[in-house]
Amino acid sequence: MIFDTHAHYDDEQFNDDRDILLNHMEDNGICTIINVGASLDGCKNSIALAEKYPFIYASIGVHPDEVGNLNEETFAWLKKQCEHQKVVAVGEIGLDYYWDNESHDLQKKWFIAQLNIAKEKNLPVVIHSREAAQDTLEIMKEYAKDLTGIIHCFSYSVEMAKEYVKMGFYIGIGGVVTFKNSKKLKDVVSEIPLERIVLETDCPYLSPVPNRGKRNSSLNLTYVIEEIASIKDISPEEVIRQTELNAYTVYPKCRKNIS
């Protein structure tokens, strides 16, 4: 079945129909969803969703745009949440030099601190990196050596993807791969083994073609699966099967749910 490794169902865009939508996931072949926290409130809401739905798990972390809200107290709170049985990863964490909401030094400081939480709690990480390829790689090489996880919404070169694969990381592929102008990402999918690819929506954002621009949900992953299958010249069923296995390897705390 389909494993969505990165979603934000706590987003207000789902306020009107969240429960109806989530109750239909299983009928549509979606077995597991990781709801990813990006802010402190997002972490709380992700845990609440995970407590409500057996097939939802939470990843908790503070996005680089939001690290201004971290301090000793909130950081200690974050660390404590990792002990929750349905918290399966630390993220999304990383560097974002596109929005540049916080200084690079502050982003780096909290990125490293959160990588250290993952090490201490023995959890995988979900990495957000935008227009910060070199600094992210340098930090990962120094502080994420013993970790695994997902480079979410991958937007860099084939060479960079291969670097992360070599380090034991997985590449998150979502709606962007269906965009006409996404040749670079299609090349990444073509060049790295299927054994290193996981599916993600980042919903409500990044809806694939033909629903580009509309609110995204895990139900749209079929378009992403078809695109990966076509690039790799394999069946959609093979894409679903292997990416599900990969996701359970990254998030071992979800394994009791294996289909």
Q: Which is nearer to Ni ion, 176 or 236 (CB)?
A: 176
Instruction: List for the chain the helix, strand, coil content (%; round to 5).
Output: 50, 20, 30
Q: Output the smallest distance, CB 216 to Ni ion, in A.
A: 11
Least Å distance, CB 70 to Ni ion, is 18
| Burial class for 229, CB neighbours closer than 10 Å (0-12, 13-18, 19+) | middle
Which range in 20-28, 72-80, 140-148, 197-205 contacts Ni ion by CB under 5 A? Answer: 197-205
> Which residue of this chain has its Cβ atom nearest to Ni ion in the complex?
202
Number of residues that bind Ni ion (CB under 5 A): 1
Q: How far is the CB of 202 from Ni ion (least distance, A)?
A: 4
Q: Is 227 in the site for Ni ion (CB under 5 A)?
A: no
Which of 2/7 has CB closer to Ni ion?
7
**Quick count: other Cβ atoms within 10 Å of Cβ 113?**
17
CB of 40 to Ni ion, least distance (A): 15
**Which amino acid is it at 214?**
K
In eight-state DSSP terms, residue 234 is S
Tokens of 218: 């895990």
Task: For residue 196, give the nearest of 160, 172, 230 by alpha carbon.
Answer: 172
Q: Based on CB atoms, which residue is closest to Ni ion, 96 or 202?
A: 202
- Rounded to 10 degrees, the C-alpha dihedral 38/67/41/175 comes to -20
Applying CB under 5 A, does 65 fall inside the site for Ni ion? no
202 binds Ni ion (CB under 5 A): yes
Summarize as ranges the residues that interact with Ni ion (CB under 5 A): 202
